[in-house]
Amino acid sequence: MEFEPVIGLEVHAQLLTEAKIFCGCSTKFGAEPNSHTCPVCLGMPGVLPVLNKKVVDFLIKMALATNCTINKKSSFARKNYFYPDLPKGYQISQYAEPPAEHGWVDIEVNGDKKRIGITRIHMEEDAGKLIHDEHGLASYVDLNRTGVPLLEIVGEPDIRSPEEAAAYLRRLHEILIYLEICDGNMEEGSFRCDANISLRPVGERNFGIRTELKNMNSFRNVQRALEYEIKRQRYILEAGGEVVQETRLWDDAAGVTQPMRSKEEAHDYRYFPEPDLVSVIIDDAWIEEIRRGMPELPLAKRERFVREYQIPAYDAGVLTASRALADYFEEVARLSGQPKAAANWVMGDILRFLNEEKKGIEACPVSPTNLAAMIRLVENQTISGKIAKEVSETMYRTGKTPEEIISEKGLVQITDAGVLTDVLVKILRENGEKVAQYKAGKEKLFGFFVGQAMKATGGKANPQLLNELLKKMLANQE
Ligand code: ADP
Ligand code: MG
Ligand code: ZN
């Protein structure tokens, strides 16, 4: 029997607000344990939470970017469970009345486009962090993270393969980063994913029993965990068994998923309305204000780059990987007036140099102005494309302008036909035998003569002129 995977992802994104969701404590990562706490986020009796408006701003941004319907009225609920990282004994979340729902994002896998539904997006508070003593003698609790705002993005079970799951995650990730509402750091846990997966016989309409996978801290691990789980469930079903509905943890070192302790599986959250918070009312004016401040989203930017700059979709994808890179490219394209050359130089040399040093475009020593100037110098034939390679590398190492580098190193292209003719006369004279072979039909030797002339001029000969002259001279040789 053939089985088909059914996958639905739940994503938690930590928001880049200054303050926590219900108190004024800082959200900064990496501070002294328990230093960013107050009676509210410590869950002391009698304190009252106050909603941080910024969190709602960010929710509206994400809802608009993922085509969600925004509900005018939503409310908070208490999700009750006992765990030492949750001082109140409940998490303030949203349940019955979510602020955003019925959205979607488009993904592409191996050239196939697909729309993945988003069930809902809601706001909630993060829990604290437990640090377990390696000898098993003690556990420590750090409540700095308690009350840090999260968006939970619940996806529809529309995903049919681990590749689609990774593509969907990458799409959400890039949107959050473009919106500047989440830093997207998976290792530090600011972007987390739980993956629900079940199998069903191909052609079956009902879903099978699912497991929920946790603890994957990279895109790759989400994919690996799903691949493993598909195999595991298939073995069970093929043997006539039944999948147990449970939460399983991905074990990166072992490359397997393992059941989580059973007491945590039996969920009864006893959700009920949060009596200490009023409903959230989002009016049209608020939505409009946020809409006006929205940046162009990655997919729209990609399509515009292809249209406006006539560059391949692949290139547009690379150049829009981050907002900063896209801005850099557009500045070079504008200043040079040559978008295609700009795309090639940014994607070629600039990204290669940056990757070698694991640096982002923000740290690029070559300013858009300098790169654009260099592209214009190639265009007006002051330097050849080959020399430009040397110039770009020197610009990167020194931060100097192309003009400075060209004059310091004497790299100006030779466009004087007289000078090049002299060079060629000498080369043809010294290689009489090869000239004869060329005349006898070995046309490949043309490249050899060009190479010799380039060598003799330190790569500075204007290639077109050189080719022209060489052709004429060879035709006139005896
Ligand atoms: P829970 O309350 O356990 O979080 P939900 O019904 O809200 O359950 O679903 C959570 C996630 O599981 C959603 O992303 C949804 O797409 C996915 N999901 C639901 N049913 C299945 C299934 N049978 N197989 C795979 N994924 C599923
Ligand atoms: Mg869940
Ligand atoms: Zn606090």
Domain ranges of the chain: 3-286, 296-409, 417-475
The type of residue at 477 is Q
Residues 6+ apart with CB under 8 A from 394: 400, 405, 409
Tell me the per-residue pLDDT of 297-351, one tens digit each, with 9 for 90 and over: 999 999 999 999 999 999 999 999 999 999 999 999 999 999 999 999 999 999 9
Q: Which of 196, 245, 269 to mutate to test the pocket of ligand 1 (most atoms within 8 A of CB)?
A: 196
Ligand 3 centroid, distance to 23 Cα (angstroms) = 5
* Atom from ligand 1 closest to the CA of residue 154: 14
- Nearest C-alpha to atom 15 of ligand 1 is from which residue? 8
Residue 352 CA to ligand 1 center (angstroms) comes to: 42
Helix (H, G, I), strand (E, B) or coil at 307: helix
Which residues surround the ion ligand 3 when the cut-off is CB under 5 Å?
Answer: 23, 25, 38, 40-41
The three-state secondary structure class of 57 is helix
The confidence score (pLDDT) of residue 383 equals 87
Which portions of the chain are predicted below pLDDT 50?
Answer: 263-264
Which residue's CA lies nearest to atom 13 of ligand 1? 8
| Residue 88 CB burial class (10 angstroms; 0-12, 13-18, ≥19) | buried
CA distance 325 to 360: 8
This prediction's pTM: 0.85
pLDDT of residue 263: 47
Q: Rounded distance, CA 464 to CA 317, Å?
A: 33
Ligand 1: atom nearest CA of 198 is: 24
Ligand 1 pocket (Cβ < 6 Å) reads: 6-10, 154-157, 196-198, 207, 210
Gap from CA of 430 to ligand 3 centroid (Å): 83
Residue for token digits 């393969």? 161
In order of 134, 142, 178, 326, 436, the CA distances from 139 in angstroms are 9, 10, 37, 45, 85
Q: State in Å: Cα 196 to ligand 1 middle.
A: 6
Residue 119 CA to ligand 2 center (angstroms) comes to 12
Contacts of residue 184, defined as CB under 8 A and 6 or more positions apart, other chains included, come to 13, 173, 176, 177, 190, 191
Helix (H, G, I), strand (E, B) or coil at 254: coil
The residue whose CA has the least distance to atom 8 of ligand 1 is 196
Give the pLDDT of residue 445. Answer: 94
Fold of the domain built from segment(s) 417-475 = Arc Repressor Mutant, subunit A (1.10.10)
